[in-house]
Structure formats: C-alpha cells, structure tokens
C-alpha cells in the first residue's frame, strides 16, 4: 500500500532527474508522487496533502516548460495523473510491451479485487479476537478500493460506497480498543514493574543530572508529605535533550527503578494517527491508564514527534499538542502520582507551551560523556567480562567525542574478537587492549555527533532560543574551539 513516504521518494527522484536534465523522467516521477498524494488525501481527508498533490502536478508541467497555475480538485487530479501516466507508459514502450502491460494490468486488476476481498474476509474473521489487526485489514482494503475507483470510473460510486463502509467499520474497531487501552501490568511492553537490572549506578557519569532527577522525580514519589509541607506540587516533568546515543532512554528506565514506580515507555510516533481525532484519543487513554496504575512514570521518547511546535504543524497536530497540555494541566491534584519524562534530539522544535513550569518546566541537557564519564562507561560495559591488562586512560583519550552508545559498541566489537577466535581454536582468552583499540577504530562516529551539534546550534540561534538551551550553545562552542 502506497503512502506519503513513497510520494516523497518519487519527489526526490524527480529532483535528481531535474539536476541531470532528465526532464521527462522528472515529469513522470512528479506525476507518480501526485497520484499517491491524491490517494492519501482521500483516505486521510486532509486538504494539506491535496496541496502537495497539486504542487507535484504543477512541477510535472514546469519541468517540460509548461505553465499550470490552477488548483485542482481530488477528482480532477486523480483523473489527470492517471491519464497522463498511462499516456507516458504508452509512449515509452513498444507494441509488444504494451500488450504485455495490458495483460499485466488485467491480472493486477483481478489480483487487486481478490486482495480486497481477502482483506475484508480476514477482517471479519478476526474482529473479535484481534480488533486492531482487523481494523488494519479494513483500512488497507479501503485504500485499494479508492485506487480501483480511479482505475475504473464506471464503478467509481460502487467502490467508494464500499470503501466508506469498511473505513467506518475500521474506525469503530479502533475506538473499541486502541493500542494504548490494551496496556495492563502483566501483558504489555509499554507498562512494566521496575527492572532491578537498571539503576543509576549502571550509568556512567551524568551525576548532576541524576541529582536533579532525584529531586524533581524520585523524592516527590518517596516523600510526598515533605513536598506538600513546602507547598511544592507533585507533577510536571523533565525534558531531556541532547545528541543521540548519550543515555536519555537509559536514564528514564533507571529513574522508574529508583522510584519503585511503574514505567510506561512510549515512542511518541506510536501515539500518532493519520485519522483526525485519534491521536488525541490515544493521548487521553495513555494518561487514563497511567492514573489506574499509579505510581507511574510516563516516558515520551522522540518527543518532537508528538510535542512539536504548533506554529510549524498541521491543524490536527495542533490539536494533539492541545490535548497533551490538557492532560498535563489536570495532574495537579494532591493524590496524583504520575510524573513525566521526555527525551528529544530536537529540543528547538518542542512547542513553547510544553516547556512552561508545571509541564516540562525543567530542561536537562544530556551531553557527550566527559573523560571521567567515558572511563566509567568503559568499566561498566566490560564488567563481568574476562579482560586482561587494559589502559583505561588510553581508551578515554582515543574515544574523545564518543557517545555512551558508541563506547558500548566499542566494547561489543572488542568482545567479539576473542569470542570468534575461541569458537575456532577452542581456547579461551581475555579481552585485551588491542581488541578495544580495534573496536575504537571501527567506531568512527565522532563526525555524526559533531554534525548534530552544528545543526542544533544553528537551529537554536535561528529560533532565538539561546537562553532556553544555554548548555547546548556552550557545548557547541567548546566543540567548535577544539576543532580550530
């Protein structure tokens, strides 16, 4: 099933064609993108996607020297893109290939109708046992039916009527039981009791950050009366930001364990839905489940996907942020035992309203580990492994600019070397310094982190957020100085 990712791929191909002066190919790729966007606009009922379809169609004209300024309706775009793509195929293929194509299209049409029927039949069979999977089948069938309506105008009304019917059925099933409502304390990857394997002591460095989280998150759970005595409300959250691989997710898991709380790990993109109103419903159900399983820490990973700045987003994305704000503002009751953590690699894109006091009022920068932290991460990563004489100071020096994830990767690569040898020779040996040096050589990721700092500094400056993310600005400046 095509989606906007496919359309974007065609647009990128078209741009490359333009650069190489392959204008006919560019035209065809823009038409392909336009046809996909039209279909998505129909399925999602989203006019902003229709604008993208119109843009691609206009570009298909521009690249061959034609001018086209009129905005087209979905029906007009569907017919034009289909007709022109068919004409393109006819012009570019020989008579024999044309015949083969005609046969293929007939077979595809038959296969398409069979696929639709199969999807609907499977959906009916699993409605009760797996409503979410049934809903997916119905939505895919609706998508294919809309495509068939463009291919066969004589049956357009019939196809669209069935598509609407099964779309409504899919929506009904999704409302019955969404992914978030299936969370319970014994059958979910999202909600879990504490895992004693991950504590703050297992994370090298970041001592100031740990202290701040203890004060803001853990102590309010453990000493609610003391915080109440000083007039401090328990609630709100912490937004952790920084380059990839520096321990944000690990910190969140350790926090829940230290607080002896339930932990809901949410990848923010999983809460989002292409259907208007469903993202807000998912957010509401997430908080409702958290209230039922208190004490709970909700951790939003990749938070920029959910809490993006509303000035940059689409209408339904703005509603999602508004729903999130509503839920957070409702966490002020005295008996509330829900606290929030969020992590992002793009702090500049988070909506300012979410960064106010009482919400994610505290922002914490998770930097690249310094020399002491890198040494600690090496020691933790090699703990319980057979190691020989290792010069940790040398490892620290050679791993300058590495993230915590990079260092763990070094240790894994180094461990693999004697392990592979032992499998062949049947003789065990320790992990030596030379193995770790080879691991460092293979882990050439410093440039990736430097690129992140360069991008982050540029975005923060562009949006005039230097005061909000001072630690990031300072860290970027230090990296720039060290490279000169």
User: What CATH number is given to the structural domain containing 275?
Assistant: 3.40.50.300
Q: Which of 177, 204, 224 is the last residue of a domain?
A: 177
Mark whether 61 and 44 lie in a shared domain: yes
* Residue 23 confidence (pLDDT): 84
Report the first-to-last Cα separation within the chain, whole angstroms.
Answer: 50
Indicate the residue among 365, 383, 405 that finishes a domain.
365
Same domain? For 304 and 377 the reply is no
Whether residue 286 sits in one domain with residue 239: yes
Distant-in-sequence contacts of 412-418, Cβ < 8 A, 24+ apart: 412/439, 413/438, 413/439, 413/442, 413/443, 414/438, 414/439, 415/385
List phi, psi (to 5°) of 298. -100, 125
Sequence-distant (≥ 6) Cβ neighbours of residue 165 within 8 angstroms? none
> What does each C-alpha distance from 6 to 29, 39, 154, 172 come to in angstroms?
11, 12, 28, 28
Q: How far is CA 168 from CA 162, 196, 437, in A?
A: 10, 45, 59
DSSP assigned state of 234 = P
How many domains, the chain? 5
Show the CA angle centred on residue 464, arms to residues 459 and 467, nearest 5°. Answer: 105
What 42-50 contacts at long range (C-beta under 8 Å, 24+ apart), as own/partner pairs, is 42/74, 42/146, 43/139, 43/142, 43/143, 43/146, 43/167, 43/274, 44/274, 44/275, 44/276, 45/276, 46/274, 46/276, 46/314, 46/316, 48/314, 48/315, 49/4, 50/74, 50/77
Give the residue numbers spanning the domain of 381: 371-444
Residue 80 falls inside a structural domain = yes
Q: For the chain, give me the number of helices (H) and strands (E)?
A: 20, 6
In a 13 Å sphere around the CA of 57, the CA atoms on its Cβ side amount to: 28
Q: Are residues 359 and 404 in the same domain?
A: no
299/360 same-domain check: yes
Give Cα 272 distance to the centre of its chain: 10
Domain termination residue (choose one: 320, 338, 365) = 365
461 occurs within a structural domain:
yes
Rounded Cα distance between 10 and 440, Å, is 38
Is the model's pTM score more than 0.75?
no
Looking at the structure, tell me whether residues 122 and 133 fall in a common domain.
yes
Domain identity same for 200 and 233: yes
Tell me, yes or no, whether 209 and 318 share the same domain. Answer: yes
| In-domain check, residue 186 | no
Per-residue pLDDT at 480: 61
Beta carbons within 8 Å of 99's beta carbon, 6+ residues apart? none
Same domain (yes/no): 140, 248: no
182 assigned to some structural domain? no
Note the pLDDT of residue 429: 93
Same domain, 197 and 344: yes
Joined tokens for residue 307: 């809490």
CA distance 61 to 69: 10
Do both 210 and 273 map to the same domain? yes
Helix, strand, or coil here: 322? helix
In a domain, 183, yes or no: no
362-365 and 338-344 beta bridge pairing? unpaired
Q: What is the pLDDT of residue 419?
A: 93
pLDDT truncated to tens, each residue of the chain (484 aa)? 456 777 887 887 788 777 777 788 888 888 888 888 888 887 777 778 888 889 999 999 888 888 888 888 887 888 788 778 777 665 554 434 444 444 444 444 444 555 787 778 777 877 776 777 788 888 888 778 777 777 777 887 787 778 778 877 877 776 654 443 333 333 334 444 444 467 888 787 778 888 888 888 888 878 888 988 888 766 668 889 988 877 788 888 888 888 888 888 888 877 776 555 678 888 888 888 888 887 888 999 888 888 877 666 554 456 778 888 888 876 665 566 788 889 998 888 888 888 887 788 788 888 888 888 889 889 989 988 999 999 999 999 998 888 888 898 899 999 999 999 999 999 999 999 999 999 998 886 544 677 788 888 888 888 888 888 888 888 877 766 555 5
In-domain check, residue 64: yes
The H-assigned helical ranges of 63-155 are 74-92, 95-126, 131-151
CB 453 within 8 A of CB 475: yes
Give me the count of residues in the chain.
484
Which residue in 426, 146, 88, 132 sits closest to 282, CA to CA? 132
* Of 87, 57, 88, the residue nearest 72 (C-alpha): 57
- Do 113 and 72 fall within a single domain? no
The answer to whether residue 411 is domain-embedded is yes
Element (H, E) at 480: helix 470-483
Is 185 within a domain? no
């Amino acid at each position: 099933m095509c989606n906007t990712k496919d359309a974007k791929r065609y647009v990128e191909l078209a741009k490359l064609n333009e650069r190489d002066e392959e204008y006919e190919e560019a035209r065809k790729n823009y038409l392909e993108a336009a046809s996909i966007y039209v279909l998505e606009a129909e399925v999602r009922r989203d006019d902003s996607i229709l604008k993208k379809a119109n843009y691609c169609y206009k570009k298909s004209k521009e690249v061959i020297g034609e001018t086209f300024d009129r905005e087209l309706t979905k029906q007009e775009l569907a017919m034009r893109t289909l007709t022109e793509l068919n004409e393109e195929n006819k012009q570019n293929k020989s008579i024999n290939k044309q015949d083969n194509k005609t046969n293929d299209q007939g077979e595809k049409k038959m296969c398409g109708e069979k696929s639709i029927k199969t999807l609907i039949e499977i959906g009916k069979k699993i409605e009760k046992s797996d409503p979410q999977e049934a809903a997916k089948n119905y939505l895919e069938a609706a998508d294919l039916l809309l495509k068939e309506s463009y291919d066969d105008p004589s049956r357009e009304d019939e196809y669209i009527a069935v598509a609407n019917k099964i779309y409504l059925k899919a929506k009904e099933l999704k409302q019955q039981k969404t992914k978030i409502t299936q969370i319970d304390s014994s059958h979910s990857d999202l909600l879990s009791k504490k895992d004693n394997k991950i504590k703050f002591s297992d994370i090298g460095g970041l001592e100031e950050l740990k202290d701040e989280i203890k004060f803001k998150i853990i102590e309010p759970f453990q000493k609610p009366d003391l915080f109440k005595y000083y007039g401090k409300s328990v609630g709100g959250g912490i937004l952790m930001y920084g380059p990839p691989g520096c321990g944000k997710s690990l910190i969140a898991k350790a926090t829940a364990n230290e607080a002896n709380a339930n932990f809901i790990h949410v990848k923010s993109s999983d809460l989002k839905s292409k259907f208007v109103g469903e993202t807000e419903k998912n957010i509401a159900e997430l908080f409702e489940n958290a209230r039922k399983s208190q004490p709970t820490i909700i951790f939003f990973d990749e938070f920029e996907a959910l809490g993006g700045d509303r000035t940059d987003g689409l209408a339904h994305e703005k509603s999602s942020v508004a729903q999130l704000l509503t839920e957070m503002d409702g966490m002020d009751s005295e008996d509330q035992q829900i606290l929030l953590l969020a992590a992002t690699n793009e702090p500049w894109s988070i909506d300012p309203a979410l960064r106010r006091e009482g919400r994610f009022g505290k922002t914490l920068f998770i930097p690249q580990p310094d020399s002491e932290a890198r040494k600690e991460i090496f020691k933790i990563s090699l703990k319980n492994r057979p190691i020989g004489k290792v010069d940790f100071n040398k490892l620290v020096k050679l791993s300058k600019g590495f993230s915590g994830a990079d260092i763990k990767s070094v240790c894994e690569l180094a461990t693999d070397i004697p392990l592979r040898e032992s499998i062949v020779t049947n003789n065990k040996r320790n992990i030596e310094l030379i193995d770790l040096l080879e691991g460092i050589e293979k882990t050439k990721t410093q440039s990736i982190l430097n690129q992140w700092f360069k991008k982050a500094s540029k975005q923060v400056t562009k949006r005039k957020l230097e005061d909000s993310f001072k630690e990031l600005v300072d860290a970027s400046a230090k990296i720039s100085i060290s490279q000169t």
